[in-house]
Amino acid sequence: MPFLDVLLGKPLPTSEERGEQIGAAAGIPIFGLDALSSAAYGPEAALTLLIPLGAVGVATIVPISASIIVLLAIVSLSYRQTIAAYPGGGGSYTVASENLGRYPGLLAAAALMIDYVLTAAVGISAGVGSLVSAAPSLQPHTLAICLGILALITVVNLRGVREAGFVFMIPTYLFVGTLLTTIVVGIVKVALAGGHPVPVVPPPSPVPATTAVASVWLLLQVFSNGCTAMTGVEAVSNGVRAFREPTVKTAQRTLTVIIGLLALLLAGIAYLVRAYAIAATPPEQAGYQSVLSMLVAAVTGRGWFYDVTIGSILVILSLSANTAFADFPRLCRAVALKRFLPHAFAFRGRRLVYTEGILVLAVLTAALLILFGGVTDRLIPLFAIGAFLAFTLSQAGMVAHWRRVGGRGAARSMAINGLGAVVTGLTTLVVLVAKFAAGAWVSALLIIAMIGAMLWVKRHYDQVAREMHSETPLALTALDRPLVVVPIQDWGKTAANALEFALTLSPDVTAVHVAAEDDQGRLQAQWPRMVDAPAKRAGLEPPKLVVLPSPYRLVVLPIVDYVLQVEAANRGRRVAVIVPELVEQHWYHYPLHNKRAEILKWWLLLRGNPRIVLVNVPWYLKT
């Protein structure tokens, strides 16, 4: 299939696994896109809630960002330890299920799976949303652009981990580079202006000075909105196996760089927003402009640098879905290896990636995008809850891990992970309470449903394994040759071929013929010359011809009924049904031939029993 080779690259043998592993430079775009891109929406989500507070609100962003950065540092330290402890991949599922037990593990898995699907959909639609607001003529094509980007991300991921790293490297570094430049330039300008810089392009409306005081409830809401900036932090620990030797060090370095960059971006944005007094504008109103757009314009004006920066933000947002594509298949593999998901998720495809997981994520994401017409704002409240639940379970699992492992340094490690567990646990509660009515309850229900489904899959696999298991040797007592039934519609080469093969299998061959509405008895008339005579000459028992009536014009069911009768009348002997099958070499011939052979196979399997065996004798057209 050369088309697949072009689209996805040539198949890679398992022995090339090492060549597909990556370093930190490729790891940052692959596992950090989600975390880094959240700098583009986390502060904005927090500032939007602060609009009513005017200048007080703008100032509040600094302590809020500071607390998020502290949280980030704690979580990051925790995850460094997880990477060291689980070099084979320490996703929240693995850590929670190995240390806390089956149900916490499944809870983490379900929460993360739902989180990834939502992240992928929301990421793409957020990027396309910004693009569309920059170029309104694209508005009618929102969904098509979303699906196009999804297709691109899917294909790149199916091509393998290394290629994905290279493709996403340029936009990632462009985004980080331009934003950091803006921050440095901004800080210098603030310092030169003695703390009161003059914006190159002032924000559209000045911030009203109010004397309002933020309520605790509002601050909690602002904090939990800001916490969306933290989703994606667990990605590296989940994908340790993708990094090259020394695996643990490379993964840890990648995580540190990602978190460091994210913290710098968050801190710089918060500082400049306050210095330039930039309040968010209400979304879904005329004149809306994103906080980053106002900030970059205030610092550098609206020249080419503005265009490049804003352009890279659009690109990075729509590609942030890629982190979900890197992690979701790995998570599904880990769960499938424990038999809680179909086996197919554990197989590596032609390019050494977990094809099934990538495809399932692509289909689910596409379904969400289509369902919401490419505008998934309403899904945003649903997804932070899954990420924080997984954080908490992972950290708590690590605490149990250190307790079990013990030894030197275990107490210190336990303290770090314990701190992480407590702060992320509290954050989970805050997010759950703050967002419950807004949609977090949907996430909760979905998580419960997913856990139920995974338990059901496991139970089914266990049952099948018990039934199939056998330590008994072959029992070769009933080696009678089978009774053979050959359905024949007309005399011709396929019928002759099937009968010839039948006679090599057994001396007991019966041909069955279903009489059509206008049957002329032609086959019966031909039988003595075509079959009886040659069989007798070869010294064989001639196959009998049985004609079946068909009052309902059906062809398949009378044959199935006849086979079941034969089997019932000859208990203990196997019945082999020979199905002559015309093989179409061209797909466009498919609708031209009836599917009776397939329908017959299907019915016989469905209504049959282990003593009824199907034999396909193919027939190939020369043309």
The residues in 39-98 that bind a copy of itself, with binding defined as CB under 8 A, are none
- Residue 599 sits in the site that holds a copy of itself (CB under 8 A): no
* Partners of residue 487 on adjacent β-strands: 512
Q: Which of residues 263 and 341 has its CB atom nearest to a copy of itself in the complex? A: 341
Of the two residues 191 and 568, which places its CB atom closer to a copy of itself in the complex? 568
Q: Which stretch binds a copy of itself (CB under 8 A): 107-115, 384-392, 415-423, 499-507?
A: 499-507
- Burial annotation 222-250 (CB, 10 A radius, 16+ → b, else e): bbbbbbbbbbbbbbbbbbbbbbbeebbeb
Q: How far is CA 251 from the centre of its chain?
A: 22
Cβ(161)–Cβ(323) under 8 Å? no
Burial 97-109 (b: 16+ CB within 10 A, else e): bbbbeeebbbbbb
**Cα(232)–Cα(33) distance, integer angstroms:** 8
Task: Give Cβ neighbours of residue 301 (< 8 Å, ≥ 6 apart).
Answer: 200, 201
Would you count residue 603 as binding a copy of itself (CB under 8 A)?
no
Phi and psi at residue 510, in whole multiples of 5°? Answer: -125, 130
Rounded-to-integer distance, Cα 362 and Cα 380, Å: 19
Using rule CB under 8 A, residue 537 touches a copy of itself: yes
Q: Does residue 377 touch a copy of itself according to CB under 8 A?
A: no
Q: Between residues 426 and 525, which has the closer beta carbon with respect to a copy of itself?
A: 525
309 and 293 in contact (C-beta within 8 Å)? no
Residue nearer to a copy of itself on the CB measure, 378 or 589: 589
Candidates 267-275, 300-308, 399-407, 586-594: pick the segment binding a copy of itself (CB under 8 A): 586-594
Q: Which of residues 403-422 bind a copy of itself (CB under 8 A)?
A: none
| Extended strands (E) in 415-543 | 483-487, 509-514
For residues 292-331, which are near a copy of itself according to CB under 8 A? none
Q: How far is the CB of 609 from a copy of itself (least distance, A)?
A: 7
Number of residues that bind a copy of itself (CB under 8 A): 84
Any idea what the Cα angle at residue 131 is, between residues 24 and 39, rounded to 5°? Answer: 40
Stretch of 45-53, 73-81, 140-148, 582-590 lying at the interface with a copy of itself (CB under 8 A): 582-590
Binding residue (CB under 8 A) for a copy of itself from 214, 582, 599, 603:
582
Q: For residues 183 and 189, what is the distance between their CA atoms, to the nearest angstrom?
A: 10
Using CB under 8 A, pick the residue from 11, 23, 246, 283 that binds a copy of itself. 11
Q: Which two tokens mark 583?
A: 């093989």
Would you say 102 or 350 has its CB closer to a copy of itself? 350
Place of tokens 């303290």: 415
Q: Which of 499, 511, 514, 559 binds a copy of itself (CB under 8 A)?
A: 499
Selected from 36, 39, 531, 600, the binder of a copy of itself by CB under 8 A is: 531
DSSP conformational letter for 22: B
**Closer residue to a copy of itself, CB minimum distance, 213 or 478:** 478
Site string for a copy of itself, 508-527 (x = CB under 8 A): ---------x----------
Question: What residues numbered 547-566 form the site for a copy of itself, per CB under 8 A?
Answer: 551-553
Shorter beta-carbon distance to a copy of itself: residue 189 or 351: 351
Contact 319, 120 (CB under 8 A): no
Q: Which residues contact 508 (CB under 8 A, 6 or more apart)?
A: 481, 482, 483, 484, 541
Q: Of 430 and 496, which has the nearer Cβ to a copy of itself?
A: 496
Yes or no: say if 26 and 165 are a contact pair by the CB < 8 Å rule: yes
Among 493, 520, 571, 572, binds a copy of itself (CB under 8 A): 493
Region label for 480, one of left (φ > 0), alpha (ψ between -120 and 50) or beta (otherwise): beta
Decide whether 375 or 457 has the Cβ nearer to a copy of itself.
457
Show contacts with a copy of itself in window 331-370 (CB under 8 A): 342-344, 347-348, 350
31-39, 96-104, 392-400, 613-621 -> range binding a copy of itself (CB under 8 A): 613-621
What are the phi and psi torsion angles at 315 (to 5°)? -65, -45
Output the smallest distance, CB 613 to a copy of itself, in A: 5
What part of residues 438-477 is at the interface with a copy of itself (CB under 8 A)? 457, 460-461, 463-464, 467-476
Shortest separation between residue 24's beta carbon and a copy of itself, angstroms? 28
594 is an interface residue for a copy of itself by CB under 8 A: yes
Q: Do residues 73 and 267 touch, judged by C-beta distance below 8 A?
A: no
Nearer to a copy of itself, 367 or 605 (CB): 605
The Cα angle at residue 607 between residues 524 and 600, in degrees rounded to 5: 45
CB of residue 164 to a copy of itself, shortest distance in Å: 20
